[in-house]
Amino acid sequence: MALAPPDGAVVDQRSLVQRAQRGDHDAFAVLAGAVIGRLGRAARLILRDPELARDAVQESLIGAWRDLPGLRDPDRFDAWVHRLTVRACLRLVRRERRRSVEVALPIEDLGHPGDLEHEVAQREALDTALRRIDPERRALIVLHIYVGMTLPEVAAALDIPLGTAKSRLHRSLRELRLSLDASAFEGTALEPEGQLA
């Protein structure tokens, strides 16, 4: 992957990682700048709290700088830094268990004004359904669907076998669908009782 540092030159990611491993702060800044948006989006979707998400991304980038010399394959930098971010998110979830966290998903490209109400309702239903899913399973969905990583990349990021990633993603998506179905009846007389907690 080719990245552009602030001076405009194009440098491949592998050489930036190798330079950063030798202590080059500027090379690491370019690497971090290239991934920080995706890390932030993933962390917000996993944690459901923008402040905690910023903390998780900061923690993961600090850990990446500290541990980068130990990264054996520079081509695996993206998966590695995503794994660090997911782990930071899960640590923060454990610390904040008792705290209620909520964040609205950003509304992007609303289309026609007449569709606004329907779009907002869909996003609220999805937000509610994602909130019901365990953060570890939510991480699978976020990395695969929202970040756009392939299943092998997700497996590498979460440090789990590919088969495990496939089966967990399948169960997570099924749980999300069930949760979406349940949220359609929420607050009505048809609300399913005791099916989902």
Token digits for 131? 């909130």
Residue type, 30: V
Integer Cα distance of 53 and 59 in angstroms: 10
Reported as a single tens digit per residue, the pLDDT across 147-168 is 888 899 888 888 889 999 999 9
Token digits for 11? 């440098």
| Higher-scoring residue by pLDDT: 111, 194 | 111
Q: Considering only CA atoms, which of 27, 32, 187, 193 is closest in space to residue 121?
A: 187
**The pLDDT value given to residue 1:** 56
**The pLDDT value given to residue 137:** 84
**The pLDDT value given to residue 26:** 95
Tell me: pLDDT of 63 over 50. yes
- Token match 């309702």: residue? 121
**The pLDDT value given to residue 138:** 84
Contact 41, 147 (CB under 8 A): yes
Tell me: pLDDT of 193 over 70. no
C-alpha gyration radius of the chain: 19
**The pLDDT value given to residue 129:** 78
Integer Cα distance of 71 and 42 in angstroms: 22
Q: Which domains does the chain have, with CATH numbers?
A: 9-185 (1.10.1740.10)
Contact 176, 144 (CB under 8 A): no
Tell me: pLDDT of 48 over 60. yes
Contact 155, 173 (CB under 8 A): no
**The pLDDT value given to residue 96:** 72
Reported as a single tens digit per residue, the pLDDT across 96-130 is 764 544 444 444 444 455 566 766 777 777 777 77
**The pLDDT value given to residue 66:** 95
Tell me: pLDDT of 190 over 50. no
Would you place residue 197 in the very low, low, confident or very high pLDDT band (cuts 50, 70, 90)? Answer: very low
Integer Cα distance of 197 and 189 in angstroms: 18
Where would I find the H helices in 22-115?
25-47, 50-67, 77-95
Average pLDDT over residues 144-148: 84
**The pLDDT value given to residue 93:** 85
Contact 168, 151 (CB under 8 A): no
**The pLDDT value given to residue 186:** 53
Integer Cα distance of 195 and 197 in angstroms: 7
**The pLDDT value given to residue 124:** 78
**The pLDDT value given to residue 54:** 95
